[in-house]
Chain A
C-alpha cells in the first residue's frame, strides 16, 4: 500500500464548476499537508499548506484536512481554463529538520471553456 493515494484522473469539468481533489494517506505521523500545482513540463508550484485538521481558504482555493480519517481535499471554486494542470497532494514529517515530502501521483485536471 502506498503511503499517499491519489486518483490520477483525468478529471474534466466545465468552466465555473467547483472542483474537488482528494488524497488519502496511511502514515499518521504526517504533520504538514500541501497542495502543489504542476503545469505540463514545469516544476511543482506550492498552492497551499496546512498543519492542523480543518479548513484553510485562499481566494478560490480551500484546503481541508481530516486527520481522523487520514483524508485531505482541495476545492477550487469558479474553475478557470488556466486551472488546467496536474494537482499533487504532498505531506511530510518535519523531524529534526528532516523534510522528506511524500507526494501523491497527481490528479490531472482539465477545465473546459
Chain B
C-alpha cells in the first residue's frame, strides 16, 4: 500500500467526450505527476504538479490538463477523447526534493469506444 489513491478504477467513455480522473497523494508528499500506460508499454510521463502549478510536461497535447489542490490532491482532465487515449492512467506522488522515491497508485483504466 503506497497511500496513493485514485478514482475511478475503471471507466468507459465515448470518443469526443471528456473525462476527469482523481488522485490523492501519499501523506507528506507535495508533488504529483501523471503517467499514461498503454497496454504492453511502460508508463509515459504526462505532467507534474508542484505548489498547484504545472512544472513539467511530457509529449502530450494541450487537451491533457490537470489541477493540483492545496491538500496536494490532483485531477487529470482529458478533452475530446480519442480511441488511442485508452490506457491505464497512473498518478504518482513524491517529495519535491526527492528524485528516487516516487510512489504510484493503482491507476484508472480508461476505455474509449
Question: Which residues of chain A have a CB within 8 Å of any CB of chain B?
Answer: 4, 6, 8, 31-32, 34, 36, 41-46, 49, 51, 88, 90, 92-94, 97-106
A103 with B42, Cβ < 8 A, contacts A31-B99, A43-B107 known: yes
Fill in one digit per residue for B64-89: 1 if any A CB lies within 8 Å of its CB, else 0.
00000000000000000000000010
User: Cβ of B100: which chain A residues have Cβ within 8 Å of it?
Assistant: 32, 34, 49, 51, 92, 94
A34 and B99 CA atoms in complex are apart in Å by 10
- The distance from the CB of B41 to the nearest CB of chain A, in whole angstroms, is 6
**Chain B interface, number of residues (Cβ within 8 angstroms):** 34
A-B contact count (CB 8 A): 81
User: Cβ of B106: which chain A residues have Cβ within 8 Å of it?
Assistant: 42-43
Question: Which residues of chain B have a CB within 8 Å of any CB of chain A?
Answer: 2, 4, 6, 31, 33, 35, 40-45, 48, 50, 55-56, 58, 88, 90, 92, 94, 96-107, 109
A36 and B48 CA atoms in complex are apart in Å by 19
